[in-house]
Amino acid sequence: MLEIYNTLTRSKQELIPITPGKIGIYVCGMTVYDYCHLGHARVMIAFDVVVRHLRALGYEVTYVRNITDVDDKIIARAQQNTESIDSLTQQFIDAMHEDERALAVIAPDQEPRATQSMPQIISMIAKLIENNSAYIGSNGDVFYAVNQFSSYGKLSGKRIEELRAGERIDIDSAKRDPMDFVLWKSAKPDEPAWESPWGNGRPGWHIECSAMSTDCLGNHFDIHGGGMDLQFPHHENEIAQSEAATGETFVNLWMHNGFVRVDEEKMSKSLDNFFTVREVIKTVRDPEVIRFFIISSHYRSPLNYSQDNLNEADSALTRLYTALRGYPTSDKAPERQAGYTNQFNDAMNDDFNTPSALSVLFEVAREINRNQSKPDVAATLAGQLRQLGGRLGILQQNADQFLKKSIPRQTDTQTTSNTDENAVASSSVLSDDEINQCIKQRTDARNNKNWELADKIRDELMEQGIILEDISGSTTWRRG
């Protein structure tokens, strides 16, 4: 039985599909005016893990993740770059897809874009105006009337009066109530605009998600997710809009992932403490290290980004790949040890407890290592380890190739924003051929019991980050 923490009820609850056997899930995706940072990577990976597990349980999943491709920041950035909005957003959509592939994130089934969803958005706004949930303000913008929605605040635990009392809310005279939020913004000169019954303009941020999610998944669907910071006001407003427009319950389960932090602070654009996926990829031997790092903590916990923690992830992954080394990559071995799979499932069924699931992988790895003398048993276990790893999107590479990949020279990404020169400077690396030459010389020396020379060669390789291992009569190497 799969239990998921529901922000709406602040408790774990069983997932009961609206349509038996099927799950519709919508995740708030990126606003594409810049490269994805680690926080975005966390959303992508967290929900990738969710979808993988739902599918492993046999659900037919429809996974929708939107792209916000028009908003104030996009417009500002395009003007600043003197390029069109389309070329700006296309560039960063492509970059996002690259990052996604690098992190082994399976693409969503649908990726609706705001600019391509105008009819749905306009029709939802029209419905809201029709039933008095929205009105046209004195400046021509269309606003949602929060006081018309009695359960406003049910997701975030906020009450309207308290919010009104807050000092931080700007008084916008066009609104009837400071809490009201914009559904349709009239276009200023030089701004992109779409025709609507309320004049040329563009949608507010919240309405696009209501329109796209219900368009793709129906008025009432199973799971809606996103980062914690979207809880209020974004998701609260989505509920208000959607339920007022359709008269139906919007979403059964709300999932929110925790932040990536830097020095115990939220990673964010405004604090300028963010690291892009592509720059962090340059600091690790393989992007899989980043993926492992992200799933090594629970999706709702804070995750502190540092090079040390990334290195730890590398060590842990190295242990798993070391256990897999020498066993075939594609192994459809039968699962002899149902116990491990059960443990793994139990962990994942408990609100996607990936750290606990990973601990099962380490148990399997130990069992493989224990059974080195029984190749059949070990190979079967290796197949199982690969299979379970696959359910988390890890351990699908050739183990030996992974272990031979070079680890970039450690740079302090905490204080210096990594430029290309910094990160790539590592690589005066020896070629495989050169390494094998050295190993051959060392083997000769060892055969002559010339330990001094043999150790000298090994030490020199070590200085280059090459670690030798003498395993059952032959010598292999890896980078560490």
Partner RNA sequence: GGCUGCGUGGCAGAGGGGUUAUGCAGCGGCCUGCAAAGCCGUGGACGCCGGUUCAAAUCCGACCGCAGCCUCCA
Told to check if 396 binds RNA by CB under 7 A, we report no
* Minimum CB–partner distance for residue 354 and RNA (Å): 8
- Selected from 121, 146, 244, 303, the binder of RNA by CB under 7 A is 303
Binder among 259, 327, 344, 402 for RNA (CB under 7 A): 259
Distance CA 243, CA 74 (A): 29
Residue 370 within binding range of RNA, rule CB under 7 A: yes
Joined tokens for residue 211: 């329109």
Is 245 in a helix, a strand, or coil?
helix
State which residue, 194 or 362, has the beta carbon closest to RNA: 362
Of 84-92, 128-136, 210-218, 232-240: span binding RNA (CB under 7 A)? 232-240
Residue 375 makes contact with RNA by CB under 7 A: no
Burial (0-12, 13-18, 19+ Cβ within 10 Å), 109: middle
Distance CA 169, CA 411 (A): 42
**Interface of this chain with RNA, residues 117 to 156, rule: CB under 7 A:** 156
Segment interacting with RNA (CB under 7 A) among 33-41, 75-83, 130-138, 193-201: 33-41
- DSSP calls for 13-66: EE---SBTTEEEEEE---B-SS--BHHHHHHHHHHHHHHHHHHHTT-EEEEEE-
- Contacts of RNA in 307-326 (CB under 7 A): 308-309, 312, 315-316, 319, 322-323
Site stretch for RNA (CB under 7 A), options 52-60, 279-287, 298-306, 426-434: 298-306
Least spacing, CB of residue 124 vs RNA, in Å: 18
Kindly tell me which of 18 and 316 has the beta carbon lying closer to RNA: 316
Between 204 and 383, CB nearer to RNA: 204
- Given 82, 173, 270, 330, the residue binding RNA (CB under 7 A): 270
**Binding to RNA by residue 47, rule CB under 7 A?**
no
CB of 373 within 8 A of CB of 322?
no
Please select the residue that binds RNA; options are 118, 187, 228, 379, rule is CB under 7 A: 228
**Quick one: which H or E segment has residue 474?**
strand 474-479
Q: Provide the H-helix boundaries in 111-249.
A: 118-130, 160-165, 205-217, 236-246
Q: Can residue 239 be called a binding residue for RNA (CB under 7 A)? A: no
- Residue 188 and residue 141 in contact, taking contact as beta carbons nearer than 8 Å: no
Q: Does 464 bind RNA (CB under 7 A)?
A: no
Q: Which of 297, 298, 281 is nearest to 289 (CA)?
A: 281
Q: Burial of 346 by CB count in 10 Å (0-12 exposed, 13-18 middle, 19+ buried)?
A: middle
